[in-house]
Amino acid sequence: MYAERISGLKSSAIREILKITSRPGIISFAGGLPAPELFPEKEIAEAAQDIFTKYGTSVLQYSVTEGLLTLREKISAMLDPDASHTGPQNIIITHGSQQGLDLISKLYLEKGRVVFTETPSYLGAIQAFRLFQVDILPIASDEDGIQPEGLLKAIKKQRPALIYLMPNFQNPTGVSLSLERRKQVVDIVKEHDLLLLEDDPYGDLFFSGEKMPSLFTLGRSHNFIYMSSFSKTIAPGLRIAYIAGDEKMISKLAVVKQGTDLQTNTFGQYLVNEYLESGRYNSHKDLLRQTYKQRRDCMLAAIDKYFPASVSRNCPNGGMFLWVRLPEQYMAGHILLKCLEKKVAFVPGQEFYSDGSGENTIRLNFSNATSENIEEGIKRIGEVLKVEGL
């Protein structure tokens, strides 16, 4: 007999769509995949030799639950170059960010508790939280991210066990939380002594200006947990990500991780550590930013050329996704079926609304397609939209 938490659990519609879109000939804007042709393949292959020379059999052996010290030192130096508030004792390596969500859920969530999220919010997070039987309360959000007044109003009604935000180039919309709102959210969280989880897989993929300060850095207190990953900036197949936070919490997470999977794969940790030591990481991130910006621009131009005027889109300053809104009466799920017939795919935005709204929205991924495919794919979607009467 399954546990109660399993009732209502369903496979991510995205994963189901991805099964269809892996068929040859389909142009897919559905996945959240980084561009494989940009992976530092040669450098990782080299690293896979060098780590044996440097560290011998350690790269294949069991290691500590918290993760390799040298890797945690590098991560804490990235987050806080002055080491004024973050050291390796504030970091735990996780098997991808999705595991970070699971471990934090295990530590803080249970039936009857509430998690506040942006609207819409990352589907993987909603799935992780739901396994712990919490209620999810979406807070009103707009093109500048979550609305502080909406957050305050909700807090007055009930105290959340966790506030979950993706402040940089959010999945699914590509929206970022403005600097002014970051400060307001930090103040609210501190004033009410709440717990905020900041998920930041895309923060380094900005297309202009510089990286905005994290809530974790602005807040500098036990109220803020930060998560990021090397999946989008090195390679997702290694599954190396991390959580940063209060030292006491990190120790508790380590005990939870012991019972969950003992430790993150040693080999992948050494590969990422070696790649970081090679000094190539910064120029590689520059390459990703340039390429993804070109693809975003290409997609925006194609949308403006091929989509009916009644369809609106945003213009994210980074990340891997942009967001399209159809007129209210149109259902993106229906449009998707028609698009699949024309061999082009996307994810209906409704998937990311925990309350089931957002039927007329579409998430488009621009990181994992060539310019030619972006032009052709958007053209095909545009044709479907016109046939459907938009």
Contacts to a copy of itself from residues 196-235, by CB under 8 A: 231, 235
Which parts of 303-342 interact with a copy of itself (CB under 8 A)? Answer: none
Spatial contact of 345 and 381, defined as CB atoms under 8 Å apart: no
End-to-end CA distance of the chain: 48
Can residue 301 be called a binding residue for a copy of itself (CB under 8 A)? no
Shortest Å, Cβ 82 to a copy of itself: 29
Which residue reads 């709204």 in tokens?
357
Nearer to a copy of itself, 39 or 207 (CB): 39
Residues sharing a CB contact under 8 Å with residue 88, sequence separation 6 or more, in sequence order: 69, 72, 73, 75, 76
What letter would DSSP give residue 356? S
CA distances from 237 to 11, 19, 269 (A): 21, 18, 12
Q: Is 99 in the site for a copy of itself (CB under 8 A)?
A: yes
The residue within the footprint of a copy of itself, chosen from 88, 96, 148, 203 (CB under 8 A), is 96
Nearest by Cα to 362 from 353, 372, 371: 353
User: Cis (ω within 30 of 0) for the bond into 316?
Assistant: no
CB of 48 to a copy of itself, least distance (A): 4
Using CB under 8 A, pick the residue from 13, 267, 342, 373 that binds a copy of itself.
267
Q: How far is the CB of 114 from a copy of itself (least distance, A)?
A: 12
Q: According to the binding rule CB under 8 A, does residue 72 interact with a copy of itself?
A: no
- Give min distance, CB of 60 to a copy of itself, in A: 4
280 binds a copy of itself (CB under 8 A): no
- Listed ranges 34-42, 201-209, 355-363, 376-384: which one lies at the site for a copy of itself (CB under 8 A): 34-42
Buried b (16+ CB within 10 A) or exposed e, 359-382: bbbbbbbbbbbeeebbbbbbbbbb
Residue range at the interface with a copy of itself (CB under 8 A); choices 69-77, 106-114, 298-306, 346-354: 106-114
